[in-house]
Amino acid sequence: MAAPARAYAVPPPEFGRDGGEFYRHYDKIADQLDNGIVKGLKASLDGLLIFAGLFAAINSSFLALTLPQMSANPVDDTNALLLELVRRNGTSPVDLPVDLPSKTFSPKPHIPLVNHLLMISLASALIAAFFAVSGKQWLANYQTLDGSGGEKQRGAQLKRSRSAERWGLVPFLDVAIPLLLQFALVIFAVGIIIYLVRLDHALGYTIVGLASLATIFAVYALFVSLWDPYSPYVTPVSRFLKWSGPAILLFVIWVVVMIARLVKSLTAVAFAIAGDQHESGIVVARRTRHTIKGIFPRYREGDMPVHFQADFVGRI
């Protein structure tokens, strides 16, 4: 019976003795992966920059309406003085006090809240735009070739790829920045709704209805993307939950276990103290500190650095 045909190439008996065939395949696959990631991230950042610019312009327009309402209008004082002059008709002494509107002015209760929300929203959008521009520069640097060629250039690109993975470049550009921009949009919507409801109830409640429909669809898309990994309704929130969900769960379990161990150890120390009334305070403090240190170590020993060639072969 003939042996089944292999679907993959047989590696040479010694690494590097295949005439460069292995490195050609590796370079092709690595370039495809890197170019795909960089191209997708650049397209996403371009869209974020366009949206952030339009959003900042709209936000600034509303701030131009709400910020002046934080202080008195000088025109009101001018009108009050003209009215007082007409009323006196030049018969009253000019040194009599005049009640100016600016002396008793105070903004409406909802105006400071609206301005705070709009300013937070504008600042968040500008910060997101700043990091989007920085991200495009990071991606350009990620694809920069040093011109050395061959194994040295391949090794440098591998180091950049591993460093980007270690420091979370893709989650930051693809999740954190869109989340920050969506946060700015939500805060802006809340501020505008508060302002419009106080200005005109019918208009405000109309905007509330439209915002509610958008929220319902966003929640639906979130649950669909979490339920079906291949759903087209992928959002930055769903990416964040998929990425951080297991870590958050493990962290909560770790906190619960550590609290239980701490309570158990402190209870044992308390019973030991109660059994020995002559134990000094210094001994009690040392025992308690030793217990806490055993539960919450100050640091952990990190893994020993791996040789670059072994890391390279492992990545392949």
Q: Is the pLDDT of residue 299 over 50?
A: no
Decide which of 161 and 307 is more confident.
161
Helix (H), strand (E) at residue 296: none
Residue 40's Cα: distance from chain center in Å? 19
Mean pLDDT within 202-212: 89
pLDDT band at 177 (very low <50, low <70, confident <90, very high): very high
Measured distance CA(137)–CA(160) in Å, rounded: 14
Measured distance CA(255)–CA(166) in Å, rounded: 25
Give pLDDT, residue 31: 79
3-12 confidence digits (pLDDT tens): 544 444 555 5
Least confident of 118-122, 214-218, 242-246: 242-246
Mean pLDDT within 52-79: 85
12-48 confidence digits (pLDDT tens): 556 556 666 777 777 778 778 888 888 888 988 999 9
Q: Is the pLDDT of residue 126 over 90?
A: yes
Mean pLDDT within 265-274: 65
Q: Give the amino acid at 185.
A: L
Share of the chain above pLDDT 90, in %: 21
pLDDT band at 187 (very low <50, low <70, confident <90, very high): very high
Give pLDDT, residue 154: 75
What is the value of pTM for the model shown? Answer: 0.66
Mean pLDDT within 257-282: 65
194-206 confidence digits (pLDDT tens): 999 888 888 888 9
pLDDT band at 185 (very low <50, low <70, confident <90, very high): very high
Furthest CA-CA distance within the chain: 125
Give pLDDT, residue 67: 86
Measured distance CA(115)–CA(121) in Å, rounded: 10
